[in-house]
Chain A
Amino acid sequence: GAVVSQHPSWVICKSGTSVKIECRSLDFQATTMFWYRQFPKQSLMLMATSNEGSKATYEQGVEKDKFLINHASLTLSTLTVTSAHPEDSSFYICSAEGGELFQSTDTQYFGPGTRLTVL
């Protein structure tokens, strides 16, 4: 299957700082990338969907000014958590899919996740 990487795998930061997380599709071109958040003992919650070259679509309740998403190329999307606070501590996971648009048989491939801890 296709490979998606994330960097860093974990990060610890001070409250008020910003953190950038990268998501890369290593062996395919990702027309769409998704960002999820997962709190302990809970399931994944979709935060936003981004298509290459266009603005991300955020889910209800997700602050677009706090979670900045950039999908500048077909292999890279970044999530920046701005002015992070302890409640932003979570496991952030990206996924990517390629192939033909509007084909829901396309498979989403997930990155390994980034553990963010805000002190």
Chain B
Amino acid sequence: DAKTTQPNSMESNEEEPVHLPCNHSTISGTDYIHWYRQLPSQGPEYVIHGLTSNVNNRMASLAIAEDRKSSTLILHRATLRDAAVYYCILRAWGSGSARQLTFGSGTQLTVLP
């Protein structure tokens, strides 16, 4: 499985933008980049995903490097409710085990008031 590398933790001030990095140097051409986040004692929540182009939705933006070996999740204005563990996951196109999500240790985001 293609692996991702994320910082263990990051801090941000409330109402400031947050850039969460993810390295995936062994990404293959058919791997999609997915981001999920998990608040304490809750199931993960889908945030965003992309393949090659940058993506925006109501929650965040995803910036993907031109060589696709890294990506950055951008929260435009962090709130206290954004404090969570953020997971960057590669998911291959295809069937069977390729559909699985393999969770790493993620990045614990702390938002300071």
Contacts and interface: CB of A to CB of B under 8 A. Distances in A.
Contact of A110 (B43, B49, B91): B43
A19 interface: no
Q: Which of A101, A103, A105, A115 has the most chain B CB atoms inside 10 A of its CB?
A: A105
A32 B43 CA distance: 17
B43 A108 contact: no
A93 B101 CA distance: 13
Nearest to A105: B32
A45 B100 CA distance: 11
Interface string B67-95: 00000000000000000000100011111
Interface string A65-94: 000000000000000000000000001011
A108 B100 CA distance: 9
Interface in B27-78: 32, 34, 36, 38, 41-46, 49
Interface of B: 32, 34, 36, 38, 41-46, 49, 87, 91-95, 97-106
Nearest to B42: A112
B43 A113 contact: yes
Contacts, number: 63
A115 B98 contact: no
Contact of B101 (A6, A46, A105): A46
A119 to B, nearest CB: 20
Given A34-B100, A43-B105, A44-B103, A104 B45 contact: no
Interface of A: 1, 4, 6, 32, 34, 36, 43-46, 49, 91, 93-95, 97, 101-113, 115
B101 to A, nearest CB: 6
B99 A104 contact: yes
Contact of B106 (A6, A43, A112): A43
Give 9 nearest A-B pairs by CB, closest first: A110-B43, A44-B103, A104-B93, A43-B103, A102-B95, A93-B43, A110-B44, A113-B43, A112-B43
Nearest to B30: A104
Nearest to A42: B105
A32 B49 contact: no
